Amino acid sequence: MQDTILYGFSLAGTWQNLGFALVGCLLGTLIGVLPGVGPLATISMLLSMTIYLDPLSSLVMLAGIFYGAQYGGSTTAILCNLPGEASAVVTVLDGHQMARKGRAGAALAVAALASLFAGVCATIVIALFAPVLSNFALRFNAPEYFALMLLGLMAAVVFSGAKMSKALAMACLGVLLGCVGTDVETGASRFTFGLPELSEGIGMVALSMGLFGLSEIIMNISKSDSREVMQAKIGRLWPSREEAGRAAPAAARGTLIGSLLGVLPGGGVVLSTFVAYMFEQKISKTPEIFGKGAVEGLAAPEAANNAAAQTSFIPLLTLGIPTTPTLALMLGAMVMQGIQPGPEVMVARPDLFWGLIASMLIGNVMLVIINLPLIGLWVQLLRVPYRILFPVILTICCIGAYSLEFSAVDLMALSAFAGAGVLLVAFGFPPVPLLLGYILGPLAEENLRRAMAISGGDATVFVTRPISLTIMLLIVALIAVVTLPTFRRNREVFDEQ
Amino acid sequence: MQSKFEDFRWDVVAGGAMILIALLFLVVGSQLTFGSLTRMGPGFLPVCAAIGLVVLGAVVALEGLKGETAVPELPKLRPFLVVIACPIVFSLMIEWAGMVPTVLVTAVLARMAEPLKWGWDLVLVPIGLAAVGVFIFIDFLGVAIPAF
């Protein structure tokens, strides 16, 4: 009983937790639906809300926020032709065209149902494979973990879409920022400049909320003249029988592709949406309608996106490695709750592991239940002017960030990171590697120390152990692939598409 | 003036800024125990990362010297300053003024990110936010901030 999904439901399925899932979904959609505010920004701004709860309830609410933010992002993408993040770029192609033809309601319903199907399937994949992988991961030791973290960091650098030198610089800066605070191993204060508020390090909420949340608000207000307001009617909500018949198999194929690719570090989620779309176009009998409102072109990438977002939890839960920036925030939130994800969690805290899996299923179902009837409301929200929306978000962010530690330093940091976030992006420095460096840095340092202590200072330990060697070779391959000229040309073509 | 802005080699400045930040970390970090490979001190990783950042900053600056110049997409000054000021004002007020006055001031300040025009939202949004602060954060979530 202790190691099945039913156990998870018995914990996560209480009325109280269902309530938190509902609130999470609502808040996630509410913020995620705002134009220009992608899932990463949404989660970074809502993180502070979950800290007050007990670990399981906070995981349940986080899962709700996660799905709400994803779905809210798709809604904006479809209605306003504004992808909030890279993985929604493909959704826009056919989704927005459907909306322009007066089928916005059907497009939103197809996206929601395809996401639900993909989410449920991928959660089952996690429930089946995560325990197996966890057992395997128990054989991992410090060198393997260090190598994995390096892989995660390098993937974030490589897939950031910026110049290699700038992305690497951001990763280094992130590692340095992660060093601020008390060194866990020796107890020495690092870069605290005598401020007691910094002894626990720079707050993750302040860093991510500033870097991704507030800086997006600044850019949105700056560009607000060009905001396209959706005037078209939503139309009938349900897809026609013919549309459903075409969307269902496409969603199934997208789910399969997403589930497989989601496990890859770095670009897995984004990649899966492109692959799913191109695959549909290839096997379609009418490839010419793609880009003009083909329902398959919406259902497949939406399903792939959601499935991949889901299976990307596998490396996080079994190894403690976040493969996407959103997962890095989820990891940070778990650590704040005193949960260190990794293979031990499943053995030591089966309640949390299965509770999370169950809450993923609950979150997925909850999302569709509340969102289909509320689509009209979200559309209204898109019409609310910025002069009302942004003061609300900004003030609530301030209250949220302050109430974590009651520290003025946190809010100063929030300000600094908001300004830095805008300037970094303006000058072509990607902020995502910084976040990954900041979160993975301390974990990597701990494992590097252990690895070196075990091997007696022998740095070859990373290439003499088979698993660690494999991961190191993967890193080399990853770097080689992006720096080699042929691939670079391909990637430029890919980026243009 | 416009062409001067576009031709300016911004990456050289950006790389230089990276080097400066790295040097700060390097100077402070070098006062920490470095240790050895077997027993790494608290200064090991920061010093290595800071050296890495110096090198990368130099690479960014050198790359910026050649090739086409990239024009930075700068934000408008007004929203930039206002949004950045909000958390600072909030943090300066909250300890002595309490939730309601702080929220009112922050919300009105945030509204100034865009040109002010009279509308009922100018009054209703701050009041609504103060209510959220009191009823949701203090009463429901139990955040220990006095209302006044």
* Distance linking the first and last C-alpha atoms of chain B: 51
- Total residues belonging to chain A: 497
Strands (E), B42-92: none
Say if residues A196 and A173 touch (Cβ distance below 8 Å): no
**What is the 3-class SS of B47-60, one letter each residue?**
HHHHHHHHHHHHHH
Say if residues A38 and A85 touch (Cβ distance below 8 Å): yes
Output the pLDDT for position A228: 54
Mean pLDDT of A401-418: 89
Output the pLDDT for position A122: 92
Residues of B in contact with A143 (CB under 8 A): none
Question: Nearest CA to A202 among A184, A185, A181, A182?
Answer: A181
| B61 and B86 assigned to the same domain | no
Question: For residues A388 and B91, which has the higher predicted lDDT (pLDDT)?
Answer: B91
In a domain, B20, yes or no: yes
Look at chain B and report how many structural domains it folds into: 2
Q: In whole angstroms, what is the distance from residue A151 CA to residue A275 CA?
A: 23
A447-491 pLDDT, tens per residue?
999 999 888 888 888 889 988 999 899 889 888 877 776 555 555
Among B65, B85, B104, residue at a domain's last position: B65
Say if residues A7 and A350 touch (Cβ distance below 8 Å): yes
Neighbour count for residue A247 (Cβ, 10 Å)? 28
Q: Which of B20, B28, B36, B37 to mutate to test the interface with A (most CBs of A within 10 A)?
A: B37
| B59 and B82 assigned to the same domain | no
Among B65, B88, B111, residue at a domain's last position: B65
| B46 and B94 assigned to the same domain | no
Contacts of A200 (CB under 8 A, 6+ apart): A181, A182
In a domain, B147, yes or no: no
Q: What rounded mean pLDDT belongs to chain A?
A: 84
Residues of B in contact with A176 (CB under 8 A): 22, 25, 46, 49-50, 53
Tell me phi and psi for residue A466, to 5 degrees: -55, -45
In a domain, B145, yes or no: no
Separation in Å, CA of B45 to nearest CA in chain A: 7
Among B65, B91, B117, residue at a domain's last position: B65
Residues of A in contact with B128 (CB under 8 A): 392
Residues of B in contact with A19 (CB under 8 A): none
Mean pLDDT of A201-217: 87
Look at chain A and report how many structural domains it folds into: 1
CA separation, residue A107 to residues A111, A244, A275, A314, A385 (Å): 6, 11, 20, 30, 24
A143-183 pLDDT, tens per residue?
988 998 898 888 888 878 788 899 999 999 999 999 999 88
| B49 and B97 assigned to the same domain | no
Q: In whole angstroms, what is the distance from residue A310 CA to residue A304 CA?
A: 10
Q: Which structural domain, as residue segments, surrounds residue A319?
A: 5-496
The single-letter code of the amino acid at B80 is F
| B25 and B61 assigned to the same domain | yes
| B59 and B85 assigned to the same domain | no
| B56 and B81 assigned to the same domain | no
Separation in Å, CA of A348 to nearest CA in chain B: 30
Say if residues A149 and A175 touch (Cβ distance below 8 Å): no
Q: Which residue has the tokens 């031990």?
A: A344
Q: Which residues are registered as beta bridge partners of A190?
A: A181
Q: Which structural domain, as residue segments, surrounds residue B124?
A: 77-140
Tell me phi and psi for residue B35, to 5 degrees: 75, -170
ipTM of model: 0.93
